[in-house]
Structure 1
Amino acid sequence: MRILLVYPQYPDTFWSYKHALRFISKKAAVPPLGLITVSAMLPESWEKKLVDMNVSPLLNDDIIWADYVFISAMYIQKESVGKVINECVRNKKKLIAGGPLFTQEFDNYPQISHFILNEAEITLPPFLNDLESGYPERIYKTEKYADMMVSPVPDFKLLLKKDYASMNIQISRGCPYACDFCEITSLLGHKVRMKKTEQVLKELDALYLQNWRGPVSIVDDNFIGNKKEIKNNLIPAMKEWMEKYNYPFTFNTQTSVNMADDEELMAMMAEAGFNSTFIGIETPVEESLKSCNKAQNRNRNLLHSVKKIQNAGFQVSGGFIVGFDSDLPSVFQRQIDFIQNSGIVSAMVGLLNAPKNTRLYKQMEAENRLTNEATGSNTDSSMNFIPKMNRKELLDGYQKILKNIYSTKPYYKRIRQFFLNYKRQKIKRKKIDLSYLNGF
């Protein structure tokens, strides 16, 4: 059996880093982790080929070679998905689809032969059994959440690793919080489900044996969602592993801002090789945090929290949102001031959107304020509902933020502020990848 795994192309967005990657001679930020995890669940006797369209084009010969084409995508890849489907249909190849886009919108894709929806650890095995018996169904879905302890080591050997700025692994799924605009909990639940520490170390072993040296992104929804487990078991084991192999990796991840409340945790993470984290700050406006149920950000000095994390040796990237119902015209300058004073160099500022199946989506639907589906990018100046603020005023204010924080003088001033806040970690690191010098 010949299996072609296809990952569609991202449009030019904040997360694609399309232009910045050229400076370091890379083609994509991270590999398609979901697809290479699915590959590891397929029979070893099957031939497998990966085409990540973000690093190489999908050729007609690739499609002709395959018996089945597996495709996974997020909503933002929708345009590229359509092109892949058309090419496969033209070549009379059966498509097997999974991932967030198809889990939420499988009804919109009649051309797909089989859907592996929700989490593949649950829905892929019965499909493979039915395929072997000759009677596969069209849709495989579940209301259950997968046991992460049965998730395999991803098939890293399929990757052209030199094309990526970072490798990635996933240790947990789910988030204990309930932000009303976030679709993570509607897809993956509130309970944080973790892999065993031994599994994580095997994945680090696999990357090391594949000769990867450099950044590793831990793509958990909230790395510190199960703080007790990571402090007691995971981080000490990762630190020991890193020391054994002379710190071949650096780790970056996503956390909630209450990371700042635990100095011991931050010190442990730094000693294990973590050096940056993305945090959803959203807004410095308390009323807006309350309205979107961002409980973990409330009743605290957010600026102080960010500076504490930076002082512990972390670069903080931040997500910011305007367009909440409670936002006043003053919010735009407040966002600018916060971003500048915090030293958050990489600030993703977006307009509020309501992804399908979120609490915000249901609220907008009930209030008859929905206008269309969200595009999957909150930085493309679009909204999928009618805001309370005048739309022109909101868009003008949004553009004001971007022009201010990414103009040359404020940007370099923010870099300077970061270095004033930052305390360098005294940890042995691998030598710098010479390709990164191209960035200068």
Structure 2
Amino acid sequence: GFVSVFVGIESPDLNSLQECHKVQNLKRDLLASVRRIQQTGLEVTGGFIVGFDNDSPSIFKQQIDFIQKSRIITAMVGLLNAPRHTRLYQRLKKEGRLLPHLSGNNTDFTMNFVPKMDYKILIKGYRRLIEGIYSYQPYYQRVKNYLAEKTFVLKRPFRLRLYHLQALLKSIFLLGIKDKGRFYYWKLFFWSLLHRPTSFPQAIIFSIYGYHFRKVLRLR
């Protein structure tokens, strides 16, 4: 079986969803839909995009609020780009808005077209959005909120392996001693151990996820 599912949410803004033809997301409560999936025991990995023509500077806070309320741990937020042979590419080409370089990485703070929103405002807002979901306090709080509601059912007895202990000890060293956010690590560590012991392994895994996200996104 599987334990997680990727959902292309894209945006909580209805006009932006209409713009990208994400019609299946228009006539539903996106937050309730995500929570319904989570209640089945599946972890939702969400895909989000900013930089649509309909996006205003308020979109960054909207995205932060949605991600925090939805308790989506892995939120893959990127800047809109226009790959070749897409309708978006053809439209932007006709409008004379294409730029020559496409990096293929929508999280590297580059775009291959001129956005409607002022570029500096867009990049500044995107960075604020990333910091708003992956900085220590909001990220660890989102993990705690998710674990507080999730029910973990062990289908077979858990067998402690050597690599489990190695991963735990490494997380303690990197996140509990060296990392600047060690206060939040230990807060989640003891909360899960005392109040949600069945979620303790997941708490450590998500803590490691956060370390990875901050390192990749250069938030450390």
Give the TM-score normalised by the residue count of structure 1.
0.37
Determine if contact 1:356/1:373 at 8 Å carries over to the other structure: no
Q: For 1:380, what is the secondary structure of its paired residue? A: coil
Deviation at 1:414, TM superposition (A): 0.4
- 2:74 is aligned to 346
- Shift of the 298–421 alpha-carbon distance from structure 1 to 2, 3 Å rule, reads farther
Which of 335, 347, 365 is equivalent to 2:63? 335
- Shift of the 368–304 alpha-carbon distance from structure 1 to 2, 3 Å rule, reads same
Determine if contact 1:355/1:373 at 8 Å carries over to the other structure: no
* Cα deviation code 1:154-202 (max 9, x no counterpart): xxxxxxxxxxxxxxxxxxxxxxxxxxxxxxxxxxxxxxxxxxxxxxxxx
- 1:359 is aligned to 87
One-letter code of the match for 1:344?
I
Q: Does 1:321 align with 2:54?
A: no
Rounded to whole Å, the distance in 2 between the matches of 1:391 and 1:327 is: 12
CA RMSD of aligned residues (A): 1.7
Rounded to whole Å, the distance in 1 between the matches of 2:126 and 2:158 is: 40
Deviation at 1:339, TM superposition (A): 0.7
- Shift of the 433–347 alpha-carbon distance from structure 1 to 2, 3 Å rule, reads farther
Determine if contact 1:287/1:326 at 8 Å carries over to the other structure: yes
Q: Does 1:413 align with 2:141?
A: yes
Matches within 5 A, 1:240-251: none
Q: For 1:290, what is the secondary structure of its paired residue? A: helix
* Cα deviation code 1:182-235 (max 9, x no counterpart): xxxxxxxxxxxxxxxxxxxxxxxxxxxxxxxxxxxxxxxxxxxxxxxxxxxxxx
Q: For 1:321, what is the secondary structure of its paired residue? A: strand
Determine if contact 1:342/1:417 at 8 Å carries over to the other structure: no
One-letter code of the match for 1:409?
Q
- 1:400 is aligned to 128
- 1:280 is aligned to 8
**Which structure would you say has the larger Rg?**
1
- 1:299 is aligned to 27
Which of 300, 308, 329 is equivalent to 2:36? 308
Determine if contact 1:333/1:401 at 8 Å carries over to the other structure: yes
Rounded to whole Å, the distance in 1 between the matches of 2:157 and 2:20 is: 40
Rounded to whole Å, the distance in 2 between the matches of 1:327 and 1:422 is: 33
One-letter code of the match for 2:87?
R
Structure with greater proportional strand content: 1
- Shift of the 315–364 alpha-carbon distance from structure 1 to 2, 3 Å rule, reads same
Determine if contact 1:310/1:421 at 8 Å carries over to the other structure: no
- 1:427 is aligned to 155
- Shift of the 291–416 alpha-carbon distance from structure 1 to 2, 3 Å rule, reads same
Determine if contact 1:343/1:421 at 8 Å carries over to the other structure: no
Deviation at 1:430, TM superposition (A): 6.7
Rounded to whole Å, the distance in 2 between the matches of 1:293 and 1:312 is: 28
Determine if contact 1:354/1:385 at 8 Å carries over to the other structure: yes
Rounded to whole Å, the distance in 2 between the matches of 1:401 and 1:343 is: 15
Q: Figure out how many residues of one structure are paired with residues of the other and give that number.
A: 168
Deviation at 1:438, TM superposition (A): 3.4
Rounded to whole Å, the distance in 2 between the matches of 1:439 and 1:286 is: 42
Q: For 1:274, what is the secondary structure of its paired residue? A: coil
Rounded to whole Å, the distance in 2 between the matches of 1:430 and 1:358 is: 47
Structure 2 gap ranges (5+):
169-220
Determine if contact 1:322/1:331 at 8 Å carries over to the other structure: yes
Rounded to whole Å, the distance in 2 between the matches of 1:399 and 1:368 is: 27
Q: For 1:368, what is the secondary structure of its paired residue? A: coil
- Shift of the 427–384 alpha-carbon distance from structure 1 to 2, 3 Å rule, reads same
Name the % identity: 49
One-letter code of the match for 1:352?
L
Rounded to whole Å, the distance in 2 between the matches of 1:358 and 1:433 is: 48
Q: For 2:3, what is the secondary structure of its paired residue? A: strand
Rounded to whole Å, the distance in 1 between the matches of 2:138 and 2:60 is: 15
- Shift of the 425–359 alpha-carbon distance from structure 1 to 2, 3 Å rule, reads farther
